[in-house]
Chains A and B, each alone.
Chain A
Amino acid sequence: MENETEQLPRQITHFWQLTAVVTAIIIGAVGGGSLAIGLSNNLSFFTVCGWLIIGIALVTLIAMLVLVPYRWRFWTYRISDRDVELHKGYFFRKQIVIPIARVQNVQLDQGPFLRWQKLQEIAIVTAATSHKIDGVSPETAEQLKELIMKLAKEARNDL
């Protein structure tokens, strides 16, 4: 039984970087559209908004990229036979405890970016909440799912 505090695999940083770029591109596209309308029709309002939104996109991109190592360093999880613990952040620290006995189901998701990095997202669902582990290797995901579901069954039988 793994009782160690685990870190997400290194590849997740690539996924986060890519997410940052895509987010920035989407925001930037909106800004660019606004800018194009403003410049071609000589509407200063749209022009100003366009530059502003492009600026926001750049700031978002830089902030998200800079924060990736921080996010990775302080995003950890621990699975024991009683509960799942998630830890996030250093300056704004979040600790989440999900007792295995409360787990209703475990959901595995994989979008195109995650597939590219050969990672899988795990959502641990309780009757009230859903908690995500952003990405782990498919083998780990499968193991975790099996473990949580097995433990959840055992824990429930005890009730």
Chain B
Amino acid sequence: MTSNGGSPKPTPARHLHAIALVGFFIETLREWIVPIAGGVIGSLALYRKHPLLFATVIAILVVFALVWPVLKYFTFTYQLLDQEIYVKHGLIFRKQNHVPYDRIQNVAVKQWFFLKPFDLVTLEVETAGHSDEGPEVTLIAVPLSLRDELSSRRRLANIAEGETAAVSGLVNGALPESQSETNNTANKPTAVYEISTKDLLKFAATSPAFLTALLAIMAVYGRLQKLISEQLLDMAIKDLGQAGWVVIVLGMLAVVLVLYLGSIVVIVIQYYRFTLSLSDGQLMTVRGLFQRNTVTLAQSRIQAVRVSQPLLRSWLHMATIKLIVVSNSKKEKDTENVVIMPLIAEDDVDGFLQRFVTDISVDQVRPSRQSGRTLYYQLRNFGLVALGIVLAITGMTFPWPRVAVIADGITIVLVVLLLIIPAYLTARRTQVQVLNDHFAFAQTNFLFTREQYYVPRQNVQSLLVKQSKWLQQRHFASLTLNVRAGSEGRKVTVRYLPDEAIYSVYDWYRQVD
């Protein structure tokens, strides 16, 4: 390691480990699956008349699928230079990518279990730039030691640049930069958390993820249902009689159950042995069963802290803590919200944040008085939308045959479930307050999930107050805090609160530093 002493010499241009060939092969297949499948199917017609031609086409495809990854592999080199990572790749389109160390936002390390014996990992380097193509640099199958080499070079670069250059404007004064940045990475972490099996199972079992899958399936079903004519469905129901209903209901329950169990398995695989550690102002999470997934990020890059609580978890008084960070990947939604604590008891959130993130003083959050008017405004807005939907759908199915009555019934139940109850929850949960000079606290609701945001003043990019003439008469207003999340902005919006609270945040935001 070259972390002590002058600036390290640039490494020679290196190729990836030969195992990367497999990775490139899979990537090639994924990218070319449509043309290849098209070629094979297209040339099937040739098979009878010109078996030789067919064989040639297949042979060309096979050779291509084998040679392309090899070419990709041999043209791909990476190099750690003085101030930047330098990646060169491409055969026909030669691409050269320079990523300065001080622009790196976070480095993700992924390791498939079968690569563990070889100490090989995939490194994903992210900057704050806007790019649709995922991480700035992806290095498949490089030695694990490269990560340490990279981080020591990053540290040196940051010291040289005075750290403010990191992401100008996003630098966060409220979350103190660790003092011991110059120390070795080998330092013992100052705080460690590892999820227990019980918590992992609880986390998986209370996740609302399967509902998303359920909604997707319902959407597909809706499309299919259009194909089946109503009379046919009606007849089928009549034929099956009473037993038919039982079959349909049981079938639906079975689908839900399978989805639910499936989501538990997926989440357990994803979060298997979740570990969080803090050392040198760097937070590191490691998780995953088949693929160990490591994300490292500097405390100073945290934009805001988000504590979310889906319905099931709020009944259990448990919550999930996420960090809103800057990244440039649009594909992977989870990179803008790094989960640092899958499941924690409500009462422990305070201590946890003190230990791992910063002095947020969760205990300063004052219980706020809810106003009946907030509830009135929310119910009015959501209620009008709900009424519109119900009228439109019941109107469309007018003479109301039996199937339509059932469909209308389901619509009304869904509208109440997805609009009216959330409207009530939103009104009850919405609040905003200033905690101290550096932090504001906002609580919002989405569907059934309560979201709490602890936002440092330095990271609020801009602020919007909305107040109509009529709201002004009642002394109510709405507020939006704009923060950077992932590759774009996120709005933290609280609607219809007494304007006293809103303007206290407004004044807090405009105060002199």
Contacts and interface: CB of A to CB of B under 8 A. Distances in A.
A and B co-occur in one complex = yes
A158 B513 contact: yes
Given A126-B482, A127-B484, A128-B490, A159 B462 contact: no
A102 interface: yes
B469 interface: yes
Interface in A96-132: 96-99, 101-104, 126-129, 131
Given A93-B472, A128-B482, A156 B464 contact: no
A95 B173 contact: no
Contact of A128 (B469, B483, B512): B483
Instruction: Decide if the interface of chain A is mainly helix, strand, loop or mixed.
Output: strand
Given A104-B169, A126-B462, A128-B482, A93 B469 contact: yes
Contact of A129 (B469, B472, B489): B489
Given A96-B463, A102-B461, A127-B484, A159 B164 contact: yes
Contacts of B207: none
B469 A102 contact: no
B296 interface: no
A126 B303 CA distance: 14
A49 to B, nearest CB: 18
Interface string B465-488: 111110010000000001111001
Contacts of B462: 96-99, 102, 126, 128-129, 131
Nearest to B326: A127
A103 B164 CA distance: 16
Contacts of A156: 164, 168-169
A145 B383 CA distance: 45
B467 A126 contact: no
From B173, B326, B465, residue with most partner A Cβ within 10 Å: B465
B171 A159 contact: yes
A150 B315 CA distance: 52
A101 B464 contact: no
A101 B511 CA distance: 13
A129 B462 CA distance: 7
A99 B509 CA distance: 9
Contacts of B513: 158
Nearest to A80: B510
A151 B464 CA distance: 21
B137 interface: no
Given A98-B462, A128-B490, A159-B171, A91 B468 contact: yes
B510 A82 contact: yes
B506 interface: yes
Contacts of B506: 95, 97
A97 B461 CA distance: 9
B169 A92 contact: no
Contacts of A158: 513
B464 A96 contact: yes
Nearest to A84: B462
B475 to A, nearest CB: 14
B170 interface: yes
A103 B510 CA distance: 15
A79 B489 CA distance: 23
Contact of B464 (A82, A92, A95, A127): A95
Given A102-B169, A104-B169, A159-B173, A95 B510 contact: no
Interface in B144-172: 164, 167-171
A134 interface: no
B172 to A, nearest CB: 9
Given A92-B468, A128-B483, A158-B513, A97 B463 contact: yes
A45 interface: no
Contacts of B169: 101-104, 126-127, 156
A70 interface: no
Nearest to B469: A91
Nearest to B511: A82
A70 to B, nearest CB: 13
A128 B463 contact: no
Contacts of A102: 169, 460-462
A55 B167 CA distance: 51
Contacts of B488: 128
Interface in A68-101: 82-83, 90-99, 101
Contacts of A82: 510, 512
A101 B173 CA distance: 12
A39 B164 CA distance: 67
Contacts of B472: 93
Contact of B510 (A83, A94, A104, A131): A83
A93 B484 contact: no
Contacts of B128: 127
Contacts of A103: 169
A91 B466 CA distance: 10
From A94, A104, A127, residue with most partner B Cβ within 10 Å: A127
A158 B467 CA distance: 34
Listed from nearest, the 7 A-B pairs whose CB atoms lie closest are A128-B489, A126-B461, A128-B461, A127-B484, A128-B484, A98-B462, A95-B465
12 contacts: A93-B472, A95-B506, A96-B462, A99-B462, A101-B169, A126-B482, A127-B484, A128-B482, A129-B482, A156-B164, A156-B168, A156-B169
Given A82-B512, A91-B469, 14 more contacts: A93-B468, A95-B467, A96-B462, A96-B464, A97-B462, A102-B460, A126-B169, A127-B170, A127-B461, A128-B461, A128-B483, A128-B490, A129-B482, A156-B164
